[in-house]
Amino acid sequence: MSIGHPTYPDDTHQSSISPPSMTSISSPSITNNNSPTPHTSRITPPMTTATPRWMEEQSPNTIWTRFIEKYRFGKAILVAGGMTGVFVVMFIVLGTLGVFHNAEYRGLAGIPSVGTSKYDGDSWGTATEGHFAMGGKGDGTYYDPGVGITSCGGSFTAQDMIVALNHIDFGRYADPNTSPACGACIEVTGPLGTTKATIQDTCPGCGRGSLDLSPAVFGKVGNFVDGRIPVSWSSC
């Protein structure tokens, strides 16, 4: 009696099951992100958007806009013309009100007193290098010394107690700073009193004996309403 391989009930089922076929297993697809994108000959045109008409800046068609478009510097010409017109109108109004003929307003505005000599002028004494002993009389006017450098080489304001001596008594020098009158102290007497001041400038339009005073000096000896007053002066 031969002994064979034992059989089990499940053996028949195991033999009927075939292993899965390798061809039935599909491999997952792998995408290579580094692969170049195929080049196409299609060119996409740039997108343009039309500006609505209501958003477009529109200049009114006036004589001024046409003038600006016609001339290169039209806008600058119009601005300059407008400013000039304002000043012209302002001066016309001030002239109509008589402001320029009022000596008080002229003094407040810093406009110098001008005009021909009104009072008899004279001077006396001597002036040599390092020595000034003179006196005189004549017209007393006023000016603003702050408009520039004085003949004696200084810089002053309307509040400084200085005077400009007439060109005759000041003398003519190649260098005005060398005039004996520069820095000399004088006493000025006018209708309202006497005060001291120093000579720091020359007055080309003043006659002999006359003085052109700073507003500070003029206010001590005269009234700005008069504009031109009689003065006398002498060395301190």
Write out pLDDT tens, residues 46-68. 665 665 665 555 667 787 787 77
The residue with tokens 């005269």 is 222
pLDDT average, residue stretch 184-204:
95
148-169 as b/e: b if 16+ CB within 10 A: eebbbebebebebbbbbbbbbb
Q: What are phi and psi of 161, to 5 degrees?
A: -90, 75
SS3 53: helix
CA–CA gap between residue 12 and residue 26 (Å, rounded): 30
pLDDT in tens, 64-118: 787 777 887 878 887 888 889 898 888 788 777 665 555 555 555 555 555 567 7
How sure is the predictor about 231, in pLDDT bands with cuts at 50, 70 and 90?
very high
